[in-house]
Amino acid sequence: MDDRAAAALALNLVLKYRRTSDQVLGSLDSPAARDYFFGSLRHYFAICSLLDPLIKRPIAEKHQDIYCLLIVGAYQLIYGRTPEHAALHATVQACQELKKDWAKGLINGVLRNLQRQCPINLSTEQSYPSWFANLIDQGYPGKMRSVLAALLQRAPQAVRVNLKENTVEAYCALLKQAGINYSNGYTKATLVLNKAVRQQDLPAFYEGKVSTQDAGASLVTELLPLKSGQRLLDTCAAPGGKLFALMEATPKIQATAVEVSSRRVAYLASEADRLGHSPTILEGDSTSTDWWDGTPFDAILVDAPCSGSGTVRRHPEILILQEIQRLRGYQQQQLRLLANAWQTLKPGGLLLYCTCSVFETENDDVIKAFLADAREASVVNLALPTGNPTDVGWQLLPTDYKTDGFYYALLKRAE
């Protein structure tokens, strides 16, 4: 299929059916189609603010694919590298592929009007819904622009070498053989690739020697010190990246993984098989302790569901699909997950809370609210090679190109 038409159809699935980029990526075969799709998502708000005044009559809902094609066309004119006339011509032709030849005049007219305004200088903030930009401004005074700009970049691909299956040196040799260049991440096992490759094309992927994992997420192994034989609980486990990182860093820990979604439980189990790990996997709801046999854990990871605001580089549809009204619900769920997990922790045990959010409401605010009720909990100070300390935790930001936005806080239960 034509790249522009494919990108428009994928964008339509996001707008109309709230699909995620992961869910529609399979329909985008070429790098160009993926660039049109991701670029249109990243700059959706800025593009719509310019396009909408140029559309004289509203486009019927059943023709939203044409509106999406206009967005793809505008993205190329404003942000793309294709010469404007070629981009415009090809976008008009893409109407044929959508079987809507009647829309050629509309696309041509609107994009020509937009072309007359080019080059257009748009601010970074214009690519964001105002509530998102405001929360970043409040949370990171003086840094709003750099944080927002970083979230609009493409994220690098980082990998975690499975230390149970091979050494880092041995895996680096495999990468070199395959002509894949890399630099070091922030843990021994993490490598950041210079150029992304499909996961299944990573050397020895199917032998379980490697996994894709963001360099910020991999830092979990530096934060939750475990000893062989200790019992670890992961309350929100799938797809298992942090759980497996911990199992690879310390041999022979007894890990229990709880996950509420049966589909994600199945994926977690298949990943455990691929990597050669045998955690106890339970399908259950970690806002209750129904699944618990009463034996306490030495260490707990609560990697809570959140807005995903720190991962906008990889999932730019978050800017469109996420809503400020949902943040309160996330916060309540995060607190329930923490409070339940705490009941299963041994005296003297450690609990690591994390989110892939850059919003304080899901991070420090949650830990502070939890501490207000849990007197036998104390904060353990953290020090990481990247990011910044917060009042009670640590915030990673995508202004460091290697990491997404992540938040960590470590709590210790009194003996």
Ligand X SMILES: C[S@@+](CC[C@H](N)C(=O)[O-])C[C@H]1O[C@@H](n2cnc3c(N)ncnc32)[C@H](O)[C@@H]1O
Active site residues: 356
Question: Least CB distance from residue 127 to ligand X, whole Å?
Answer: 24
**Nearest to ligand X of 287, 322 (CB atom):** 287
Residue tagged 């230390």 (tokens): 163
Question: Least CB distance from residue 325 to ligand X, whole Å?
Answer: 19
Question: Do residues 161 and 218 lie in contact, with contact meaning Cβ atoms separated by under 8 Å?
Answer: no
DSSP 229-268: T-EEEESS-TT-HHHHHHHHHSTT-EEEEEES-HHHHHHH
Question: Do residues 211 and 272 lie in contact, with contact meaning Cβ atoms separated by under 8 Å?
Answer: no
What is the phi/psi pair of residue 198, to 5°?
-65, 140
Question: Least CB distance from residue 225 to ligand X, whole Å?
Answer: 18
**Nearest to ligand X of 15, 268 (CB atom):** 268
Q: CB-hemisphere CA count at 13 Å for 153?
A: 18
CA 354 to CA 237: how far, in whole Å?
Answer: 12
CA 184 to CA 170: how far, in whole Å?
Answer: 15
Nearest residue to 300 (alpha-carbon basis) of 249, 336, 342, 331: 342
**Nearest to ligand X of 222, 285 (CB atom):** 285
CA 138 to CA 215: how far, in whole Å?
Answer: 26
Beta strands of 268-385 (E only): which ranges?
Answer: 280-283, 297-303, 345-355, 377-380
* Paired tokens of 34: 């993926």
**Nearest to ligand X of 107, 236 (CB atom):** 236
The closest residue (CB) to ligand X is: 236
**Nearest to ligand X of 44, 342 (CB atom):** 342
Question: Do residues 147 and 136 lie in contact, with contact meaning Cβ atoms separated by under 8 Å?
Answer: yes
Nearest residue to 7 (alpha-carbon basis) of 52, 43, 49, 38: 38
CA 388 to CA 408: how far, in whole Å?
Answer: 11
**Nearest to ligand X of 65, 234 (CB atom):** 234
Residue tagged 């306490």 (tokens): 296
Question: Do residues 28 and 7 lie in contact, with contact meaning Cβ atoms separated by under 8 Å?
Answer: yes
**Nearest to ligand X of 109, 305 (CB atom):** 305
CA 188 to CA 184: how far, in whole Å?
Answer: 8
The footprint of ligand X (CB under 6 A) covers 217, 235-242, 258-261, 264, 285-287, 303, 305
**Nearest to ligand X of 77, 409 (CB atom):** 409
Question: Least CB distance from residue 271 to ligand X, whole Å?
Answer: 9
Pairing of strands 406-413, 190-193: unpaired
Question: Least CB distance from residue 234 to ligand X, whole Å?
Answer: 6
Question: Least CB distance from residue 305 to ligand X, whole Å?
Answer: 4
CA 46 to CA 219: how far, in whole Å?
Answer: 34
Q: Which helix (H) or strand (E) holds 137?
A: helix 130-139
Residue tagged 């700009």 (tokens): 149
Question: Do residues 233 and 258 lie in contact, with contact meaning Cβ atoms separated by under 8 Å?
Answer: yes
